[in-house]
Structure 1
Amino acid sequence: MFAAAHYAALAVFVFSCWGYGRALLGRMAPPPRRDAGLEAAMAVALGVGLFICAFQALAIFGAFKMGATVALVVAGFVAAAIQLPSWLRERRALRANEPAAPWTYFERVAMIALALVALPALVAPLAPPIAFDELMYHLPYARQVAQQGSLGIHDWLRYPWFPYNYNLLYAAALQVGDDVLPHFLNALAGALSVVMIFRLGILHANRLTACIGAAIWLGLGDYSNALIDMGVALFVLSACVALWWWRESGPGKPVHGGIRWLGVAAFCLGVAAGSKYQALIFLPLVALFVIRHERRPQAWALVFVCFLIPCLYWYARNAVMTGDPFNPIGARVFGFTEWTPADYVQQVADVRVHAELPNALIWSVFFAPFSVLWKRSAAVRAAGWFCLYSVVVWVVTSRYPRYLTASFPLLAAIAAIGWQVLFGWAASGLRRMFGAKEKTQDAGTVATGSMSRDTARSGARAGDWVLVLLLAVLAAVSVRQTAVKVSMVSITPEARDAVLRKHVPGYAVMDYLRRTATGRVYQIALNEAIYYGPNPIWGDTLGPWRYTDFGRLSGGDLARKLGGLGFVAVVLPDSVVPVFSARVDFDKYFAVEYEKDGSRVYRILPAAP
């Protein structure tokens, strides 16, 4: 029932999103190359974007309450129900015109592999929140918005000035459900982009490419948390789809024709840029692509308006309140505000520490230009140039794999083509090797051709066994990962506490403080547990509540400073305790109040002025 209830809630939201998105798409000329699955996924993605804009508008005016959220979902559901019959008729008509080519052996194997990869992803969202960043600021911010019904600057969070478009969905989920429901909205972004990659593969390549590309992206995604990287990836991919529909519809058409797809692309990029700063890196590439075909002022006006609608608030607010529209990453250009130069250096150093190569599954992207699909499909080439641009910018800027996530869907699609090239080369090499062996055999036998047939049959059998072995390994990995995900699902409060105590350092003491604290709490080195602590809770490595501002004080001075700011307790892991307990007079001003699972709560004792 636990899983059924969450999937039912997700289904209602998806249907409502489709209702809004379908209503918008219905006002536009159909894409030149029709595909019911791709258009349905785009409709849901656009509906998600419209929900984000609606939630943002409500929160700006302090009206983002549960009643408004439910009303928006119900209205979308009704709109979807009204449009469903006509869409089903249109879908049947489109399918009637599609050639029903039989599935090949390799395509069936690839589809089985895709299903095996999908199995753990279906269970992963059911786990409670345990990921570092979702506990440090994604869910705490969403909870604040859900409780207050408005947008605010919460300086106790590490990134109080970031754009938080996709997090507004999590806030809505927390209004109507538990903190597992945001995982499903993150998973929805991944699932929609998987469907898009699959349908794009069929449209512009073949079924094999579609299955491999979808499986790669499905395997790379993380469906067990409430981060926003897959949400950004969804809207970047949706922008690319809309851009290609605009390109195929013929640039230069009037506003009621293909140019509206340009507006949709700009809107999707705006949603992405209003969710994470990294989405801004795609603007130069998109602008170059568009300006090659469209230079009319009215078209660019449409682009700017559609782009700014979802993201203007965040950047304008930051510019007005801090002077830095990209706060804090624009500090060296616009000036430092809450972050000091040392904070900036520390953040860059942290990114560099985590720099590494992305998953090896996408390395084959560089072999895609050797495929016949590259030569005959302009869409494949356009996606390839997008991938090259993304990788170059990523290498130059961060080399942090998660910052490449927005490009992963198209990287996976092009990597699928690259893998086919590599396997094709390997097969050709094997054929040449078997051919060389044949020449050493009896000339009479070779003349009959029997050895060629035997060799072909043995090669085919060997290939079959290799595929069976690969599927068996994949099945074992899938079952193992699914079992791990199932073990994380916590239906009862007792099971949830056990999972959180095991996977979230400091959870036990944070939970204790949440229930008992009567004043402000300062935490040290337990950022990954603040979602489960008092709301709010202060302390971080960066920003106005940085540890270094308190770290060099004696016990008495520290107690006076914290007490003067309204703090009543300090919580920290045992590993950090020696650093603080070694201070002069520490025991005179701090007393252990609670200790469990390797963390402690110190009560701040009255200090003489």
Structure 2
Amino acid sequence: MNKLEFLLGQYGALALVVAACWGWGEALLRLLKIDRDPAMRLGAPLAITLGLGISICVLQGLAIAGQLTAFYVGLLIAVGMLLGAWHVLAHKPLLRWPAWRPGWQEMPRSDRWGLAALAAVLLSTLTAPLPPPTQWDELMYHLPHAQQWAVSGRLTVNEWLRYPWFPYDFDLLYAGALLFGNDVLPHLLHALAGWLTAWLIYRLGVQHLDRLTACVAASLWVLLAADEFIRAYVDMGVALFVLVAGASYQAWRSTDDRRWLLPCAFALGLAVGSKYQALTLLPLFAVGLIWRDRRPTTWLLVVGALLVPCIYWYGRNALLTGDPFNPMGGRIFGFTDWNASDHHWQFEDLRRARGWPAWPLWPALVVPFIPALRRSMAVRRALIMGGYMTLTWAASVPYPRYLLSAYPVLVLLSAASSMYLIRLASTAIPALRQRVVVKVAATLLLIYLTLMATAEIVRYWKRISPTPEARAALLTQRVPGYPLWAHLKTHPVGRIYQLGSEDSLYYAPQPIWGEVFGPWRYSDYASLPPAQLHRKLTQEHFDALAIHSERFPGVASQPEFERYFERVWTEGAVKLYKLKPPVAP
């Protein structure tokens, strides 16, 4: 019952956020007087996404002004909910089930199977976001930065953490959640981006392809992005904003209504304000705009909408470090906290992890050779966008997770070609035309997806931690050094330098120094003999040294190490040593 109450409470909090975002986003759509056509309306998922973007901009403004507090965030949610209530009461026809959509009974059997399969796939993500944070990057920098903004109420540059100069639009949502002491809600906010993306993929698939293909595409997205539903990263947020930008661009080209360029540019600005990789999309959209509309007023509107969510990060970096893309532009603009070696090893690390796109995406390559698909203008634009994103990814850093922002377009193309080929095969092979064969195959697939969803629900249900005791037990098991960090929050030992525990810093007392890159890089400390290490740490005013003994086994095992360092905590893999007073020569 505790876990069920926890689940309902967390989803209740998410429902408040969704309702507020829908209120803000619908207000923007009504102000622009777009997305009104019932046959092409993207509706709620588009409104909620734009509402998320508006919330990010408001949170950014509050944090810049030093007013990021629970009161103002609560006010932001309350106003959004009031706007939503007003839309419901004043525009009830918007909420009616559109007459052009067939009911369940009138749908073809294949569409019903597709919807049932999609429901099973979505159900598999139900409990995935609910365990406490345990994933590497969220503990290393996403949540620690958000935590510092929530504690200070302002946008601080936290130089002891990795990537202090990155653009962090989506992470501002996490800071808002942490103001209320809820670090599971960031998981749900990232998962929300994934669910909204699936919803938009389905809507776009129905509009431009057919319902069954839309179900296949949305299911592929959820399955391929399954690991992202358990994390407070930004990748699904970037994918959502990129998809909204592409869908808005398509709506502009099909209606010739330039008001659609505002949500297009705004969503693109949110993507660029959340991850540097999204910058590669700017040339593609710029060429598309130049090709169609070169009016100065159009460009002013587009550039303004693009810059609102992201100009702060790039302007701040340019003013304070001279590199608007710090640290990635260091070779061009000069290095500040990083050096050339850090830059080299960062990209070398990504290259070592490079890989091919997921195999379910490969059928997208067949789309150009299918005349029935190639005749669709929307499909041709999707091909250009998906191809461009894949090529820029392959030419820069072919790290599989960095392609995630292209997945929504690629799964639509892949599903379109796969369904076309399956239907073609069914007409050519008599056995595939038999209803019993199709029914058995569909039933087996649905059973498999249902079993998979059940297994995933149970898997993450076991990790839900509704009580402090359950949470501590799980984190002790899954986060190296958690018991030490929990102890130090109540028994501080002064300024700490750590070696090898960057994947648990969210739970450590802040600030805590020590990183792979930057001015406190491990390589400048770990190789020193005990006497020199002690002298360096003393000169930098450190009081204690925490060492992940499995990742840096040779540091504490050196001769005379205990002459300079006193053991304080030896449980688990992370050990703590206090610096002894300087030893006389």
Same fold by TM-score greater than 0.5: yes
Question: Of the candidates 237, 243, 254, which is equivalent to residue 248 of structure 1?
Answer: 254
Counterpart position of 1:132: 136
Question: Of the candidates 121, 124, 128, which is equivalent to residue 120 of structure 1?
Answer: 124
Question: Of the candidates 231, 244, 258, which is equivalent to residue 238 of structure 1?
Answer: 244
Counterpart position of 1:522: 497
Moved more, 354-363 or 372-381: 372-381
1:39 is displaced (CA, Å) by: 1.7
Q: Which residue type is aligned with residue 140 of structure 1?
A: P
Moved more, 345-354 or 77-86: 77-86
Q: Superposed, which structure 2 residues align to 1:275-424 within 5 Å?
A: 275-371=274-370, 373-424=372-423
1:122 is displaced (CA, Å) by: 1.3
Question: Of the candidates 82, 87, 98, which is equivalent to residue 95 of structure 1?
Answer: 98
- Structure 1 residue runs of 5 or longer lacking an equivalent are 251-257, 435-454
Answering whether residue 495 of structure 2 is matched by residue 492 of structure 1, we say no
Counterparts of 2:122 and 2:375, CA distance in 1: 31
Provide the secondary structure at the position in 1 that maps to 2:354: coil
Q: Which residue type is aligned with residue 544 of structure 1?
A: P
Moved more, 53-62 or 364-373: 364-373
Counterparts of 1:464 and 1:97, CA distance in 2: 28
Counterparts of 1:120 and 1:606, CA distance in 2: 56
Question: Of the candidates 71, 74, 77, which is equivalent to residue 73 of structure 1?
Answer: 77
- Cα shift readout 1:342-377 (whole Å, capped 9, x = no counterpart): 101110111011111232222221122344552342
Counterparts of 1:245 and 1:472, CA distance in 2: 38
Q: Going by fraction, where is helix more abundant, 1 or 2? A: 1
Moved more, 195-204 or 258-267: 258-267
Distance 1:69 1:428, change over 3 A: same
The TM-score with structure 1 as length reference comes to 0.91
Q: Which residue type is aligned with residue 219 of structure 2?
A: A
Provide the secondary structure at the position in 2 that maps to 1:571: strand
1:429 is displaced (CA, Å) by: 5.0
Counterpart position of 1:23: 27
Counterpart position of 1:550: 525
Answering whether residue 266 of structure 2 is matched by residue 267 of structure 1, we say yes
1:460 is displaced (CA, Å) by: 3.1
Question: Of the candidates 479, 482, 486, which is equivalent to residue 504 of structure 1?
Answer: 479
Counterparts of 2:549 and 2:103, CA distance in 1: 64
Counterpart position of 1:438: none
Counterparts of 2:39 and 2:427, CA distance in 1: 34
Q: Which residue type is aligned with residue 154 of structure 2?
A: S
1:126 is displaced (CA, Å) by: 0.7
Counterparts of 1:183 and 1:75, CA distance in 2: 24
> Aligned pairs, how many?
577
Distance 1:186 1:375, change over 3 A: same
1:464 is displaced (CA, Å) by: 2.4
Q: Is the 8 A contact 1:519 1:566 kept in 2?
A: no
Question: Of the candidates 444, 447, 457, which is equivalent to residue 482 of structure 1?
Answer: 457
Q: Is the 8 A contact 2:29 2:35 kept in 1?
A: no
Q: Is the 8 A contact 2:564 2:583 kept in 1?
A: no
Moved more, 82-91 or 98-107: 98-107
Counterpart position of 1:192: 196
Counterparts of 1:462 and 1:81, CA distance in 2: 49
Question: Of the candidates 157, 167, 180, which is equivalent to residue 153 of structure 1?
Answer: 157
1:121 is displaced (CA, Å) by: 0.8
Counterparts of 2:259 and 2:435, CA distance in 1: 50
Counterparts of 1:429 and 1:355, CA distance in 2: 39
Counterparts of 2:115 and 2:376, CA distance in 1: 23
Same amino acid, percent of matched pairs: 40
Question: Of the candidates 45, 52, 56, which is equivalent to residue 52 of structure 1?
Answer: 56
1:240 is displaced (CA, Å) by: 1.1
Answering whether residue 9 of structure 2 is matched by residue 10 of structure 1, we say no
Counterpart position of 2:214: 210
Counterpart position of 1:108: 112
Counterparts of 2:36 and 2:377, CA distance in 1: 15
1:32 is displaced (CA, Å) by: 7.0
Counterparts of 1:372 and 1:585, CA distance in 2: 75
Provide the secondary structure at the position in 2 that maps to 1:602: strand
1:504 is displaced (CA, Å) by: 1.7
Q: Which residue type is aligned with residue 156 of structure 1?
A: W
Answering whether residue 580 of structure 2 is matched by residue 599 of structure 1, we say no
Q: Superposed, which structure 2 residues align to 1:160-199 within 5 Å?
A: 160-199=164-203
Distance 1:23 1:511, change over 3 A: same
Counterparts of 1:351 and 1:334, CA distance in 2: 22
Q: Which residue type is aligned with residue 313 of structure 1?
A: Y
1:97 is displaced (CA, Å) by: 4.5
1:424 is displaced (CA, Å) by: 3.0
Counterparts of 1:320 and 1:595, CA distance in 2: 45
Counterparts of 1:118 and 1:30, CA distance in 2: 29
- Cα shift readout 1:12-58 (whole Å, capped 9, x = no counterpart): 11111111111111112334743587222111111110111111111
Moved more, 306-315 or 78-87: 78-87
Q: Which residue type is aligned with residue 116 of structure 1?
A: A
Counterparts of 1:87 and 1:241, CA distance in 2: 24
Provide the secondary structure at the position in 1 that maps to 2:125: helix
- Cα shift readout 1:364-401 (whole Å, capped 9, x = no counterpart): 21122344552342112211211111111111111111
Distance 1:399 1:89, change over 3 A: same
Question: Of the candidates 514, 523, 535, which is equivalent to residue 560 of structure 1?
Answer: 535
1:297 is displaced (CA, Å) by: 0.8
Q: Is the 8 A contact 2:500 2:552 kept in 1?
A: no
Q: Is the 8 A contact 1:41 1:192 kept in 2?
A: yes
Counterparts of 1:212 and 1:551, CA distance in 2: 51
Counterparts of 1:423 and 1:185, CA distance in 2: 36
Q: Is the 8 A contact 1:21 1:42 kept in 2?
A: yes
Answering whether residue 201 of structure 2 is matched by residue 226 of structure 1, we say no
Distance 1:603 1:359, change over 3 A: same
Provide the secondary structure at the position in 1 that maps to 2:91: helix
Provide the secondary structure at the position in 1 that maps to 2:156: coil
1:130 is displaced (CA, Å) by: 0.7
1:66 is displaced (CA, Å) by: 1.1
1:574 is displaced (CA, Å) by: 2.3
Could you say what the CA RMSD is over the residues aligned between the two structures, in angstroms? Answer: 1.9
Counterparts of 1:74 and 1:411, CA distance in 2: 37
Answering whether residue 544 of structure 2 is matched by residue 580 of structure 1, we say no
Q: Is the 8 A contact 1:32 1:245 kept in 2?
A: no
Distance 1:327 1:118, change over 3 A: same
Provide the secondary structure at the position in 2 that maps to 1:292: helix
Counterpart position of 2:512: 537
Provide the secondary structure at the position in 2 that maps to 1:209: helix
Q: Is the 8 A contact 1:38 1:195 kept in 2?
A: no
1:283 is displaced (CA, Å) by: 0.7
Provide the secondary structure at the position in 2 that maps to 1:138: helix
Provide the secondary structure at the position in 1 that maps to 2:197: helix
Provide the secondary structure at the position in 1 that maps to 2:576: strand
Counterpart position of 1:83: 87
1:601 is displaced (CA, Å) by: 1.3
Q: Which residue type is aligned with residue 248 of structure 2?
A: A
1:312 is displaced (CA, Å) by: 0.5
Provide the secondary structure at the position in 1 that maps to 2:543: strand
1:513 is displaced (CA, Å) by: 2.4
